[in-house]
Structure 1
Amino acid sequence: MKIVANREKLLQAFAAVAPAAPARSPKAILQNVKLDVTSDGATLMATDLEQGIRYAVDGVEVEAPGVVLLRTDKFGSILRESTDEAFRIESDGQTTTFKGERSKFNLPVANPGEYPPVASFDESSYFDIPARLLKELIRRTLYATDNESSRYALGGVKLESDGQNITAIGTDGRRLAKMEGPINKVGDPTSFGEATIVPSKAMSFIERTVSDDDGEVQVAVRQNEVLVKTPRATLYTRLLEGRFPGWRDVFPQRSGSSKIELPVGPFAAAVRQAAIVTSDESRGVNFTFGDGTLTLAGKTADVGQSHVEMPIGYSGESITITLDPRFVSDFLKVLDAEKTCTLDLVDGDSAAVFTTDDGYGYVVMPLARDR
């Protein structure tokens, strides 16, 4: 194998695939990235057997095709530390040589035949999802998942679709985030079902890999995995097993509730201020709505008290609910500070339901008042 590669573009491709390779593994072969060179170009691959990626490398001149495994840590260090504009990479199956204008490295290589296969996207039926929407779906639900829970399914984002819209749901049992948006069907793809729960780690990996400039992203569901294809990369991940909570019951269709419109930026600032005096033992902040004012009050015996007010467009009957300010802040962080959100409240003992005008909903369970 012989290629001449632009170092910056090779580094960009490596940075995209490296997170899929485990830093430690009982299977040492997985601590490599695979470079597959054909007459059409070069592709980098990495996998930890649960997720994997193929990434097309730009700026490569192919002199001789071939396949080589490159140690993730050493290969990455060479690319990052070098100042050369271009690299010549050659491998004879025993040693791989990297030559720059002012540097040269020789690394032993493992047998590429022992590297596990990395799935490719060969589907004729799939869903087309706008790249921006996919990133927003992930960003607005991922934070609500729970990787520490014994309930395995809570460590992922559930995907559902009616063929025209996609819905992503994340929950840790104390709060739930839901985001939806339009998609297109190509052919007759396997639908997102009850078992389509994508691990949080994989969702984060997909969000980092997909670019806003990618336009449409193709997504296909297989029996126990999901494939995602961008113009440059193909990612796959195994799905989580387990029973996901019945999330529709969490968004109640209730009458007699109060709907309060809140400006995101000022509300987020008020929540942060009130949270200053909270602690791990006393997390609750009282949110009191009434008389055109939102009053936030926090109190912790060994820290102090907080009292923050902001004007709101609500003059109905006073309602006080105790919430964990971290959960409210998590929701507000993924919104545009210039926009507004709507809070649906019944009383201090019922769930607080936040919604936006672009298909996003968030439910937070209240804390006991004496906290």
Structure 2
Amino acid sequence: MKIVCQREPLTQAFALAASIAPSRSPKEILQNVKVTASGSKLTLIATDMEVGIRLEVEEGVEIETEGAGLLPVQKMMAILRESNDESLTIETDDSGIRITGSRSKFKLPGANPDEFPSVAGFEEDKYHVVPTRLFREMVKRTVFATDPESSRYALGGVLLEMEENNVTAVGTDGRRLARMEGTGESVGSHQTNGMTTIVPTRAIQLMERALSDKEETVDVAARNNDLLLRTSRAVIYSRLVEGRYPNWRQVLPQRSEAIQLDMTVGPLFAALRQAAIVTDMESRGIDFTFADGTLKLEASTAEIGESQIELPIAYDGESITLTMDHRYVADFCKVLDNETNFIFEIESGAAPALLSTDDGYGYVIMPMAKDR
């Protein structure tokens, strides 16, 4: 194989593929990216056996000799980042790998590309077409609520539910739950079954990273044990988390008597950051007291001090105090713009709070027992 590539587009593509390759593995061959040169494009393949990617590069690629080679992730990434050359020539043969720039030469040991594991392509005739912007928002607004460290494996990923024109993503760690839903298009009557399409946290984050702003839609196909995502230039494969997801619909409150308050993200987030100044890892709870046209945020930590921040709200009913982990409320604020309006729904100090927007986002926070 002999190719001449513009360094910048190759670096971007290689970095994405390299993010899937494991930094350590008993199978040393997985610490490479397989590059295949054919026709007018390069195909980059990487996998850790749980997640895999096939990525095509055509921009700035000139193929002099077709073939395949294995490029070691760490050394190749360092060369691409440190080089000042606009283009690089990459040659592979039985003697190894040669990378040549205008004023630089590198030689690296090679391995047999035929021994590299295959990564599935997208051959499905049943899948969902999802707007790229929606898929990104689904990941951004749910993935932070997952718990990859939990012994309950199902909590270590994002649940995807797809049927007809509906697409829903859910993340939970058992103490809070985030749900984002929107509209997609089912092709070939594609749909998920039950609550088992759980995409590992790391995998769905990589999928989100692979999306380009230039693409209007992505294709998502759920199979029995894995999920495939296709963009115009890449296919990403991921095994699904084993297990069954909790019945998240039972967690989302359906309350006719609850109090619904119209609020804006920015002012709440600013007040929350101030109140949280006196919290620590042991005392994370902040009292949210709704009464007399004011939301009062209060925190107290023996060794640090006390805080009391007030925020005007449109509520003059009976006083309700809800103690919540300030980090969980902050996570909700971080994934939304400061100007975003939302509904803050409360019922009592012992019932969960529900924060929701008008674009399909709902976020449940369980109250804390008072720790002071």
Which range, TM-score by smaller chain?
over 0.9
The one-letter code sitting in structure 2 at the alignment partner of 1:185 is S
- Cα pair 2:40 2:61 within 8 Å, conserved: no
Partner of 2:32: 32
- Once residues 243 and 43 of structure 1 are traced to their aligned partners in structure 2, the CA distance between those partners, rounded to angstroms, is 35
Partner of 1:16: 16
Offset of residue 59 of structure 1:
1.2
- Once residues 281 and 160 of structure 1 are traced to their aligned partners in structure 2, the CA distance between those partners, rounded to angstroms, is 36
Partner of 2:128: 127
User: What are the Cα deviations for residues 43-83 of structure 1, in whole angstroms up to 9, with x where unaligned?
Assistant: 11110000011111121111111010010001111111111
Offset of residue 370 of structure 1:
4.5
Offset of residue 151 of structure 1:
0.3
Offset of residue 94 of structure 1:
2.6
Partner of 2:261: 260
User: What are the Cα deviations for residues 75-128 of structure 1, in whole angstroms up to 9, with x where unaligned?
Assistant: 111111111111111112331111111111111101111100011111122110
Q: Which moved more, 1:184-193 or 1:299-308?
A: 184-193
- Once residues 78 and 369 of structure 1 are traced to their aligned partners in structure 2, the CA distance between those partners, rounded to angstroms, is 54
User: What are the Cα deviations for residues 313-337 of structure 1, in whole angstroms up to 9, with x where unaligned?
Assistant: 1222211110011000001110110
The one-letter code sitting in structure 1 at the alignment partner of 2:7 is R
1:192 to 1:100, Cα distance in 2 relative to 1, 3 A? farther
- Once residues 67 and 341 of structure 1 are traced to their aligned partners in structure 2, the CA distance between those partners, rounded to angstroms, is 53
- Once residues 83 and 369 of structure 2 are traced to their aligned partners in structure 1, the CA distance between those partners, rounded to angstroms, is 57
- Cα pair 2:163 2:186 within 8 Å, conserved: no
Partner of 1:181: 182
Offset of residue 40 of structure 1:
3.4
SS in structure 2 opposite 1:78? helix
The one-letter code sitting in structure 2 at the alignment partner of 1:314 is Y
Offset of residue 193 of structure 1:
3.6
User: What are the Cα deviations for residues 22-44 of structure 1, in whole angstroms up to 9, with x where unaligned?
Assistant: 00000000000000111131111
Offset of residue 192 of structure 1:
5.1
The one-letter code sitting in structure 1 at the alignment partner of 2:42 is A
Partner of 2:55: 55
SS in structure 2 opposite 1:348? coil
- Cα pair 1:127 1:189 within 8 Å, conserved: yes
The one-letter code sitting in structure 1 at the alignment partner of 2:213 is D
Offset of residue 291 of structure 1:
1.3
Percent identical among aligned pairs is 54
- Once residues 124 and 161 of structure 2 are traced to their aligned partners in structure 1, the CA distance between those partners, rounded to angstroms, is 19
- Cα pair 1:271 1:329 within 8 Å, conserved: yes
Q: Which moved more, 1:358-367 or 1:179-188?
A: 179-188
**Once superposed, what is the RMSD of the aligned Cα atoms?**
1.1
TM-score by structure 1 length? 0.98
Q: Which moved more, 1:60-69 or 1:90-99?
A: 90-99
Partner of 1:225: 226
- Once residues 251 and 92 of structure 1 are traced to their aligned partners in structure 2, the CA distance between those partners, rounded to angstroms, is 58
Partner of 2:305: 304
Partner of 1:81: 82
Give the aligned length. 371
**1:152 and 2:167 matched:** no
SS in structure 2 opposite 1:286? strand
SS in structure 2 opposite 1:77? helix
Offset of residue 216 of structure 1:
0.7
